[in-house]
């Protein structure tokens, strides 16, 4: 085994144990990327050899360095039968629930009490906090390249409704609620109807959704070109309020599900 491959195996083992992670939050609340981990992950793909990973009558072919991760009862993770996959190098804390079919990619970090619902994706290196609900068919984007790019980060107690998409290094601060069908990326400004201000990417190109924001799918009128005279609107996520007791009650997961 080469030194590069040995370092890769050691790194993904440590990722799975939660000893290291691709991005970390400092005491000041800011997130930084451990770029070296992403570099090592990429080296694993480079060193890997395409191999037959078929199971029964289901054909699978992938690099031998990144097989499906193995769990046991002692892992404390509920993976409900029905076709979910967790790739090697992903960390799932005790109490995480994965409903079928879902996919969690290499380098992802999923903290305690989080539910990944049916047809949901947690992309490569995405960082998911405690007690997060990722509802059915939602997509949390991944990132391996460029190496220094910040992955999508979802902080504690966030609720992501069905058919949502969170991409391009977006940060969802604690307690955010995304209504059904909301898409957040750095290309589309977010309107705060409470303050009357537009939220755009920061100096690092990250879209940051404020703590406790309740976001729904909205639209804004086209003001230039032929579309302006035709009443055409384009998509725009809108903060309609900030989380309160009533909102928390409506999105709280029943303890019995855990």
Q: What is the pLDDT along the chain (258 residues), one digit of tens a residue?
A: 799 999 999 999 999 999 999 999 999 999 999 999 999 999 999 999 999 999 888 899 999 999 999 999 999 999 999 999 999 999 999 999 999 999 999 999 999 999 999 999 999 999 999 999 999 999 999 998 777 788 999 999 999 999 999 999 999 999 999 999 999 999 999 999 999 999 999 998 999 999 999 999 999 999 888 888 788 999 999 999 999 877 777 777 656 566
Q: Can you tell me whether residue 12 is helix, strand or coil?
A: helix
Is residue 118 within 8 A of residue 133, CB to CB? The reply is no
7's enclosing H/E stretch is helix 3-17
Q: Which CATH class is domain 75-247?
A: mainly beta
Question: Which residue, chain included where needed, has tokens 């998911």?
Answer: 128
145-158 core/surface letters (b: 16 or more CB in 10 A; e: else): eeeebbbbbbbbbb
Total-model pTM: 0.94
Interatomic CA distance for residues 157 and 175, integer angstroms: 5
């Amino acid at each position: 085994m080469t030194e590069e491959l040995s370092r890769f195996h050691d790194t993904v083992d440590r990722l799975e144990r939660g000893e290291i992670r691709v991005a970390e939050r400092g005491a000041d609340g800011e997130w930084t990327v451990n770029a070296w981990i992403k570099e090592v992950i990429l080296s694993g793909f480079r060193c890997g050899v395409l191999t037959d990973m078929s199971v029964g009558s289901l054909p699978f072919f992938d690099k031998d360095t990144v097989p499906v991760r193995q769990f046991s009862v002692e892992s404390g993770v509920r993976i409900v039968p029905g076709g979910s996959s967790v790739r090697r190098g992903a960390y799932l804390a005790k109490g995480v629930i994965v409903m079928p079919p879902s996919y969690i990619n290499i380098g992802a970090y999923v903290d305690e009490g989080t539910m990944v619902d049916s047809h949901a994706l947690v992309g490569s290196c995405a960082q998911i906090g405690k007690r997060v609900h990722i509802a059915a068919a939602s997509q949390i984007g991944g990132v391996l390249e460029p190496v220094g790019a910040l992955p999508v980060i979802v902080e504690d107690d966030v609720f992501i409704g069905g058919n949502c998409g969170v991409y391009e290094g977006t940060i969802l601060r604690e307690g955010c609620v995304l209504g059904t069908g909301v898409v957040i990326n750095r290309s589309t400004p977010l309107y705060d109807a409470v303050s009357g201000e537009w939220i755009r990417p920061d100096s690092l190109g990250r879209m940051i959704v404020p703590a406790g924001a309740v976001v729904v799918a909205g639209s804004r009128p086209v003001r230039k070109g032929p579309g302006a005279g035709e009443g055409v609107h384009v998509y725009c996520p809108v903060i309609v309020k900030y989380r309160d007791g009533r909102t928390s009650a409506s999105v709280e997961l029943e303890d019995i599900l855990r």
